[in-house]
Amino acid sequence: MGLMDASVTLKKLTEKFPDAVVGTHNYRGDDTAIVKKEKIRDICLFLRDDPDLLYNFMMDLTVVDYLGRDPRFEVVYHLYSLPHNRRVRIKALVPESDLTIDSVVSVWVAADWFEREAYDMYGVVFTGHPNLRRILLYEGFEGHPLRKDYPLKKRQPLIGPVN
Amino acid sequence: MSEISKDLHTEYMVINMGPSHPVTHGTVKFLATLEGETIVDLDVEIGYLHRGFEKMCENSTWQQVIPYTDRLNYVSPLINNTGYALAVEKLLGIDVPERCKYLRVIACELSRLSDHLTNVAAAGLELGAFTAFLYFVEARELVWDLIESLCGARVTVNYVRIGGLKNDLPERFEEKVRYVFKEVRRLWVDVDKLLTKNRIFIDRVRGVGAISAEEAIAYGFTGPCLRACGVPYDVRKAQPYLVYDRMDFEVPIGETGDNYDKYLVRMEEIQQSMRIVEQALAQMPDGPINVRLPQVRMEPKEKIYSRIDSLIYHFKTVIEGIKPPPGEVYQAVEGGNGELGFYLVSDGSGKPYKCRVRPPCFALTAAMPRLVKGRLLADIVPTFDMINMIGGECDR
Amino acid sequence: MGLKLSRWKATRDLMVGQKQSAGPERLLDGSVILTRLEAAVNWARKYSFFLYPFVTACCGMEFMSVAGPRYDLDRFGAALPRFSPRQSDLLMVVGTISHKQAPILVKVYNQMAEPKWVFAFGVCAVSGGFYDNYSVVQGIDTLIPVDIYVPGCPPRPEMVLDGLLLLQQKVKQERWSDWPRGEAPVSRC
């Protein structure tokens, strides 16, 4: 992947959505674009359908919690284009005060379970998701464990010894 | 017939194939809504083995994460170790010596052998072919003997280090490899004769769990399940890491994406993995196996006990952890089930800020309802087997 | 005849574990073995465990090896896994138990008929392993009574077989009054 090829995605993205893209970088060869969360569905549709880009694989969807910074959360999408053999990372900024973001299930079906896991672990609500409930923890679990302010050793057993 | 059944009051029956079930590898719950024997809807519930991998990693130093990665895809632990070490090395911006790369390739391919052997053995067991299970468990024991002589442990190896490896090859490793591969090839031929043209096996797995290539891509399939659909995507060929670009191997592709193709793809990959190991052993150069950066990779004990600077680096890296520069990186390797990705975020301290694993079988298990809808209840068994859901990876 | 009698004696002594006088057996020409009913029943129980492998995690790989042809559980009589708790008597808890899985473990334990034994396979079942966090039960003995603890991550198959032999010795020394023990003493939090 030459340098020319690597920045095609970022160039086209900043041309098409100039006000949504907050920043881009290419740390260690990974194309990354930081976007605002409002137009995330349009951005994803553009990335999937544009003939130069064709990001048809949604590899990963996760959330990073930057405690102490505003916006606190970043929803990170890792995409891969099978025809062009390229990767890109999209980071959408989500503040703690408005912890919602559009769901991209209609763009890639793979996002279904990844978004459920992000909701389970961080509490980010994906609007438009057909079935947003906990996936890795039991239904009555209180709290969202991967947030930085959740203690590691807090116990929430469903069932325990009598004494 | 339909006139009669209009008067009969029929309802759908909901059956629970619970979390403690031999087929579901112990940790997945299926709620099947059945009409007779046909599945109308399937609800898959995972998370019964959630062990908090990411949270534990955020509370350990970068080197202490490696045993946790062992337990992700526990049938092929060396691939997880290698993936993580490659991701951290990408973050640090360092490159390991040649011999280390070849050794890592050998370790990964031995692990991949173990993964595919276990999967076909378990599939045989759950369909009733107990002999295939016993033969491949014996083959896996032989491969584990090799891994044990190389790394010191059978299952949770903890062999790869950031910036190198734990130790070099033991003596007479090539002889052992030759002997073991001869035995594994013999057992492979036996199981091939037992299963591949077996009427009962074919009736149970052919045509079941078929999926088209576009849908598979939309669901995020990777690995043998995607290659069985006809898509030639293998991370080792598409974006080669380590020395895979110097290895001559083929990537088997299926046609319809049903369970029979997945089985054939896995069987052929066993043969290709053995080829890769033999080539790597032949091509491997001599040299060091660890990178010479004491702030990343610990030096040998003789130096640590005799030189003060080595002692200081050892102390700092063990107590505080190595310190990669702040940033984020994503590294993908080809795991036994597909693309295993590590997304690491560093804030410059000795502990990872975020250590995310992209589990290949998470996306595969999410597609289970789509694969078995409209089929019989008994078709859950071969379909779920061939997906090769490993609880440690899916639930982390 | 003298040889046959001494062989019978040896067998009987092995079973009961103490020397007794040969009176009635010599009279009946060695065709009868006398022992306590407890000892005979314990002997039958310990050499015919029906496992319920409650497999969750990585230790399951070593369980497959132990059941495989090289390290063979069949030699010790514990070959047949019964995947229904109603039909089994040795619950082998193989692998990590999370809080989500804990009620299921207790349910399976309660559904087993007495006499039943529990084998904690692997350090995650023994004490939670190195997963000291929000989602892992720190040892299944907080939920159900455990008979044998086999630590290891995962334990080598030889360790598992050693654990099984120790369990057999334990079963040999049981008394009638040990059973029944009742349900697992847990509460729903």
- What average pLDDT does the structure give for chain B? 89
Domains of chain A: 3-127 (3.30.460.80)
Structural contact between residues B111 and C61, judged by C-beta atoms closer than 8 angstroms: no
pTM recorded for the entire structure:
0.90
Domains of chain B by start residue, with CATH: 45-395 (1.10.645.10)
Decide if C110 touches A, using CB distance below 8 A: no
Considering only CB atoms, C134 lies closest to which of A145, A159, A160, namely A145
- Is B383 within 8 Å of B30 (Cβ atoms)? no
Check CB contact under 8 Å for C188 and A155. no
- Interface residues of A toward C, Cβ cutoff 8 Å, are 137-138, 145, 150-162
Is B153 touching C (CB cutoff 8 A)? no
Tell me whether A54 touches chain B (CB under 8 Å).
Answer: no
The pLDDT of residue B330 is 93
Beta bridge partners of C121: C94, C150
Of the candidates B382, B386, B395, B368, the one whose C-alpha atom is nearest the C-alpha of residue B31 is B368
Q: Enter the ipTM.
A: 0.91
Tell me what pLDDT residue C146 has: 92
d(CA B353, CA A64): 9
Three-state secondary structure string covering chain C: CHHHHHHHHHHHHHHHCCCCCCHHHHHCCCCCCCCCHHHHHHHHHHCCCCEEEEECCCHHHHHHHHHCCCCCCHHHCCCCECCCHHHCCEEEEECCCECCCHHHHHHHHHHCCCCCEEEEECHHHHHCCCCCCCCECCCHHHCCCCCEEECCCCCCHHHHHHHHHHHHHHHHCCCHHHCCCCCCCEEEC
Name the band, by pLDDT with cuts 50, 70 and 90, for residue B4: low
* Concatenated DSSP letters of B251-288: ----SS-SHHHHHHHHHHHHHHHHHHHHHHHHHPPPS-
C-alpha to C-alpha distance for A19 and B333, rounded to whole angstroms: 35
Spatial neighbors of B6 by CB under 8 A, at least 6 apart, are: none
Residues of B in contact with A146 (CB under 8 A): 54-55
Binned at pLDDT 50, 70 and 90, residue A2 comes out as: very low
Q: Which residues of C touch B20 (CB under 8 A)?
A: 54, 104-105, 108
B150-198 per-position pLDDT tens digit? 988 888 888 999 988 988 899 899 999 999 999 999 999 999 998 889 8
Give mean pLDDT, residues A28-44.
Answer: 89
Q: What local confidence, expressed as pLDDT, does residue C19 receive?
A: 47
When CB atoms are compared, the residue of B50, B233, B343 closest to A136 is B50
Among chain C residues, the shortest Cα distance to A158 is held by: C189
Q: What is the pLDDT of residue B78?
A: 92
A158/C188 CB distance under 8 A: yes
Query: What pLDDT score was predicted for residue B2?
Result: 59
Mention every residue, 6+ apart, whose C-beta is less than 8 A from residue A67. Answer: A147, A148, A149
Mean pLDDT value across chain C: 83
Q: Is the pLDDT of residue C30 over 70?
A: no
Task: Tell me, rounded to whole angstroms, the distance of Cα A145 from its chain centroid.
Answer: 17
d(CA B70, CA C87): 35
Nearest to A153 among C99, C103, C133 (CB): C133
Is the per-residue pLDDT at C119 higher than 60? yes
Which band of pLDDT confidence, cut at 50, 70 and 90, is reported for residue B299? confident
Closest CA to A122 of A101, A142, A140, A145: A145
Partner residues linked to B29 by β-bridges: B45
Q: What is the pLDDT of residues B13-47, one digit of tens each?
A: 898 888 888 877 778 889 999 888 888 889 999 98
Residue C18 pLDDT > 50: no
What is the average pLDDT across C24-46?
A: 78
Please tell me the predicted confidence (pLDDT) of residue B378: 87
A125 and B CB contact within 8 Å? no
B392 at interface of C, judged by CB pairs closer than 8 A: yes
Distance CA C176, CA A76 (A): 62
In this predicted model, what pLDDT tens digit does every residue of C51-78 receive, in sequence order? 999 988 888 889 989 988 888 888 888 8
**Chain B nearest-CA residue for A85:** B238
C153 interfacial to chain B (CB closer than 8 Å): yes
Return the residue of B nearest to C128 by Cα: B51
| Residue with token string 């059945």 | B34
pLDDT band for position B111 (50/70/90)?
very high
Give burial (CB, 10 Å; 0-12/13-18/19+) of B364. buried
Nearest to B343 among A56, A60, A137 (CB): A60
Of C106, C133, C134, the CB nearest to A159: C106
Cβ distance B34 to A121 under 8 Å? no
